[in-house]
Amino acid sequence: MAKLNQALLQILACPCEHHASLNYQPDQNELVCQRCATVFEVRDGIPIMLLSEAKPGPNGIGKTSD
C-alpha cells in the first residue's frame, strides 16, 4: 500500500468550507480534516479529496459542530 508523500500533505486542504489542514493517519492510510473530521482515503498514494468519496466525521461530511 503506497503511503502519502509528506510534501503533498503540506499543500492539501479539506474541501469543506473551512479549507482546514489535514492529519495523516498512516495506519489507516487516510487523511482526517482538523475541523470537520471528514475522512479521505489515500489510494495508491493519491489522496481522494472529494466530499462525494469521503467518509463522514461525527457531524457529517464537511460539517462541524459549530
Residues that bind Zn ion (CB under 5 A): 14, 16, 20, 33, 35-36
Q: In the complex with Zn ion, which residue's Cβ is closer, 29 or 49?
A: 49
HSE-up of residue 30 (Cα within 13 Å, Cβ side)? 16
User: Taking Cα atoms as reference points, which of 39, 35, 47 lies closest to residue 10?
Assistant: 47
Q: In the complex with Zn ion, which residue's Cβ is closer, 33 or 42?
A: 33
State the nearest-atom distance from the C-beta of 53 to Zn ion, in Å.
14
State the nearest-atom distance from the C-beta of 40 to Zn ion, in Å.
9
